[in-house]
Amino acid sequence: MKVIVGLGNPGPKYEQTRHNVGFWAIDRLAAKLSVAVTKAKFQALIGETRIGAETVLLMKPQTFMNLSGQAVSEVVNYYRLQPETDIVVIYDDMDFAPGQLKLRMRGSSGGHNGIKSIVAHLHTEAFCRMRIGIGRPAPGTDVIGHVLGVFSQADKERVEKAADAASEAALYSIEHGFERAMNEFNQVSF
């Protein structure tokens, strides 16, 4: 089994915020696969499908961003998954310009509270990630205000394209492996 996790905050209040681009990618992947991500389980909304011989679970934690690790660890423990090979996490990253997509197989949280929570709950930094750039806050804007704010129209269009590319990369990684997905999709920019 493979689990593709998009990070975000639950509820309509946060749908269009920068912090929810992981949810955007899951929604696009769900649409491509004709899967409803609506079943409540593992403190998340999930949808299950098959890609070839692989069972794939799409997951949107409903724990709020800072507690994402609770939901991810529940699914990992329930299915006895290996984080380094069975989990892909898609999330926002301020270190990249809006619309940039970067993939990597492991690493630190980079200050991202959702990833900090996952690392703490899984006791490892070894899990695959897809980071969608959202840009840095404007001078005088705090980080929380930035990640919970909305994009300008131009940035939103770039980020939507990156979320779509992340969904394609996730699908590709299931079919061909994450390393090959990195070769195909890493550092794509819109």
Tell me the per-residue pLDDT of 89-121, one tens digit each, with 9 for 90 and over: 999 999 999 999 999 999 888 889 999 999 999
Q: Does this model's pTM top 0.75? A: yes
pLDDT at 52: 83
State yes or no: is 19 an active-site residue.
Answer: yes
Nearest CA to 58 among 32, 30, 84? 30
pLDDT at 139: 86
Nearest CA to 175 among 54, 63, 73? 54
Give per-residue pLDDT as tens, 174-188. 999 999 999 989 877
Query: What letter would DSSP give residue 63?
Result: S
Residue numbers in the chain where pLDDT is lower than 50? none
Q: Whole-angstrom Cα distance, residue 50 to residue 163?
A: 21
Q: Which of 19, 112, 121, 146 is catalytic?
A: 19
pLDDT at 19: 93
